[in-house]
Chain A
């Protein structure tokens, strides 16, 4: 990795995979995002940190199409995806998890992942009358993803019966099921027990070899371990960006995270 101006380049620079240009979002008079610009490269893990209400989740909502930005553009693989609905953006290769677990409560782990995989294999002729359990490739891919995240023991369990940590892992599996090139994780370790946190960190590390990841995270240790670059949001503005070391030395960041020690290993 070469270091240029404190900004670590994770891979060869052949354009950004995801690029935001001056993205803004306001709700009435409240400005939630104020001119956010940055790019994510292939294979990069970008951390987004910031205090509560800084606009981190709003940023995800705007990127993935849940909310339309009031200004600015979003590009995925150089293609303008601003304001497209979530299902189209998902098909273009971007996938996300949610801060609070957001699963199909009454479906099994296998079915939940299967649904996502199928969205990429959907054709008019297999939609109505083919037997869902006989679509071999879809089932195989779903199995592969479940093995990747390590839920194969609990494949037949109803999602709402899983432990909270497993539900978080299932969230990631469902996000993976649509075969994304860009994965957005909204606090994947929030509220998860210590043993399971390591599982999730290892999983994210492995996934980063195949796709770019943006990670919203509160725990600075995790950010320092995982992320190549960090962006700090506060009141909808980017106040610092760069590698973890650079950001942690920033005075404003230290002021916001007062009392919390930022350690970068």
Chain B
């Protein structure tokens, strides 16, 4: 109980802090923070998969890319509004999650990792080749329609509007996921992570719940992809590359598996590292790898896992 409270305070505190920072940050730092918030959504969703049901998916770039393309393509070809486009993205994440999940979640650990990675790679190649739809490596640019809020129209070309738009979705994602994970479903996920066979013998269809977790995390990855495309007003086949499969794993490991908000710390650490260290050292990833090893050597639970378990005592 205590552990959950530490994490909840941290989450709410961070959201409030981000709300304040939006008004004071300079342009460069603000766009970096927007990126961190988007990746934070991606990472939270991924934690449901890896941290709560112990499914190490290397296929989440598919959801991320599908979200980005779902949003951009529907805005270009269907001329839909911004929120509709986001809904379409989340929907495409859901559909792909179900399809991919039905193939994968039955597989045991290593096979699951390999098959998800292969499927993601196949879609990456497809996106590279189907240039007439995806724009291939060059990608597609899109002009973002203004956000209609009934009484007013807000253009996301205004950086501050973009910032709070993303922050809103980050907060909503956090509260929805926290609610789900505090609901019986979350407890079932935990029991499956702890001992899937025992959960099966307690009357739970383990495959179905693993699929549920997989789909949920796919939907949030798609939402993150869509927000990323909206922020950059651009998407390309690169969003489906293997890079986006590995990133969430690193975020979650560094931040703390099964903490939901821990991955935010992982995201922030990695993004800041990338932003500041890459400026003077080309092989910054090498340094980051060493840093990850050190963090995991000190605490297997990652940063927030460590902090939260300290807070209990």
Contacts and interface: CB of A to CB of B under 8 A. Distances in A.
B223 to A, nearest CB: 17
Give the one of B183, B190, B203, B205 with max A CB within 10 A. B203
A64 B198 contact: no
Contact of A177 (B179, B186, B195, B202): B202
Contacts of A174: 198, 202
B191 A104 contact: yes
B47 to A, nearest CB: 16
Interface string A94-134: 01101000111111000110111011101000111111110
Contact of A128 (B185, B199, B203): B185
B187 A90 contact: no
A128 B205 CA distance: 16
A226 B191 CA distance: 32
A130 B190 contact: no
Contact of A132 (B186, B194, B204): B186
B204 A87 contact: yes
Contacts of B191: 104, 107, 112, 115
Interface residues of A, number: 37
B291 to A, nearest CB: 26
B195 A132 contact: no
Contact of B204 (A95, A98, A106, A119): A119
Contacts of A95: 201
B183 A102 contact: no
A239 interface: no
Contacts of B205: 85, 87
A139 to B, nearest CB: 12
Nearest to A97: B201
A130 B183 contact: yes
B155 to A, nearest CB: 34
Contact of A103 (B179, B187, B195): B195
Nearest to B205: A87
Interface of A: 64, 66, 85-87, 90-91, 95-96, 98, 102-107, 111-112, 114-116, 118-120, 122, 126-133, 135, 174, 177-178
Given A102-B198, A120-B203, 16 more contacts: A85-B200, A87-B206, A90-B202, A98-B198, A103-B198, A105-B195, A107-B190, A107-B191, A111-B190, A114-B187, A115-B199, A118-B188, A119-B203, A126-B183, A127-B184, A127-B185
